[in-house]
Homo-oligomer: A and B are copies of this chain.
Amino acid sequence: MKAKIAVLAGDGVGREIVPEAVKVLKVVAEKFGHTFDFAYGDVGGQAIDKVGVPLPQDTLALAKQSDAVLLGAVGGPKWEGLEYSLRPERALLGLREQLGLFANLRPAKLYEVLADASTLKKEVIEGIDILVIRELTGGIYFGKPKGIEALPNGGERGVNTEVYTTEEIRRIAKVAFEAARRRRKKVTSVDKANVLESSELWRRVVIAVQKDFPDVELNHIYVDNAAMQLVRNPRQFDVMLCNNIFGDILSDEAAMLTGSIGMLPSASIGAQVGLFEPIHGSAPDIAGKNIANPIATIASAAMLLSYAFKLDREAHAIEEAIVKTLDLGYRTKDIHSAGSRLVGTTDMGEAVVRNL
């Protein structure tokens, strides 16, 4: 096939890890007879530096005209003095909203050879394979009214609105049930229905959608209990279906259980163009030193092939190359331990390419 991939490296380690993923994609294209055109754009802090905004019109246009977007990371101390509405992270919210990326898929899967990196006991995390499905364009992230207003008493009042419609819940629930069908057939829907009416509706709609997926088991869990159970017994979960803010929190918690967030990819899908990025941030403290772990981004490229282009064989080839590279002992600093082979960002990328 022939496809156009928008490449938005962004800030910090994004600029080092994304080229490694592009390298891998190029080799895959060659091996499997595809043509991928890569088109580069600015995003986040470096876009602010260049043109004054975190998500330039050009970048948005580029993303919309592409078949998929590969993103690195955004943000850094340089831009932390800016007003929140102008900061690098706003580019992510803009891309999600403008591209209609309502479904965020965040796998928290343990690479067995890295089990020791977890802060949890081996017997607790062995074999965990959780897919957090997070609603990404609704809820408290985008609901109105929102803002800060002055009060007559001289104080202020900060407001955000958590809001979900039947239709918004239905479409994300379908994504969760469909994903569960290709996995262990179990959806755990996370809510706070004992307190929040928005969650009460969420639960009701999820129950209705499940009727079309009688082969998939559905459970409900309150978000506070979910945060507990992830620590107590993470293996109980297959697909976790969450609203935007609960998914933000729980997907990060789930990721950290594996002990190696430098390994974890994500996919954001919904309308035409999907966006794929590592779950970790721009890590300014280690940027520019050729020590960042490119595997999360390379794994995101694999998700891109699978979700955006339905190239499952190719995606699988990348995943196998990652496992093989790890099995051969290659480790970047974040996952390094005695007895393994410490390599830099580019070496790790090349090792994956060699093992393709």
Contact = CB atoms under 8 A, between A and B. Distances in A.
A228 B255 contact: yes
Contacts of A355: none
Contacts of A228: 252-253, 255-256, 261
A63 to B, nearest CB: 21
Interface stretch (A41-49, A152-160, A287-295, A298-306): A152-160
Contacts of A146: 196-198
Given A119-B231, A120-B121, A121-B120, A160 B225 contact: no
A218 to B, nearest CB: 16
Interface stretch (A11-19, A243-251, A315-323): A243-251
Interface string A181-207: 000000000001111111111100000
Contacts of A98: none
B195 A167 contact: no
Contact of A227 (B151, B161, B197, B227): B227
B249 A223 contact: yes
Interface residues of A, number: 62
Contacts of A156: 165-166, 201
Interface class of chain A by DSSP = helix
A2 B167 CA distance: 58
A156 B205 CA distance: 10
A117 B201 CA distance: 37
Contacts of A89: 194-195
A251 B225 CA distance: 10
A148 interface: yes
A279 to B, nearest CB: 10
A271 interface: no
B93 A148 contact: no
A197 B147 contact: yes
A257 interface: yes
A163 interface: yes
A313 interface: no
User: Could you say which of A84, A158, A195 has the most chain B C-beta atoms within 10 Å of its C-beta?
Assistant: A158
A165 B157 contact: yes
A142 to B, nearest CB: 9
A157 B250 CA distance: 24
A224 interface: yes
Given A159-B197, A227-B252, 8 more contacts: A87-B194, A120-B231, A146-B197, A158-B165, A158-B201, A159-B198, A160-B163, A227-B256
23 contacts: A84-B194, A119-B121, A119-B233, A120-B120, A141-B196, A146-B196, A148-B201, A151-B165, A156-B165, A158-B165, A158-B202, A160-B161, A160-B162, A160-B198, A223-B249, A224-B249, A225-B252, A227-B227, A227-B249, A227-B252, A227-B253, A227-B256, A231-B253
User: A-B pairs with the 10 shortest C-beta distances?
Assistant: A158-B201, A155-B166, A158-B198, A227-B253, A224-B252, A228-B256, A231-B256, A119-B124, A160-B162, A228-B252
Interface of A: 84, 87, 89, 93, 119-121, 124, 140-141, 143, 146-148, 151, 153, 155-167, 192-202, 223-225, 227-233, 245-246, 248-253, 255-257, 261
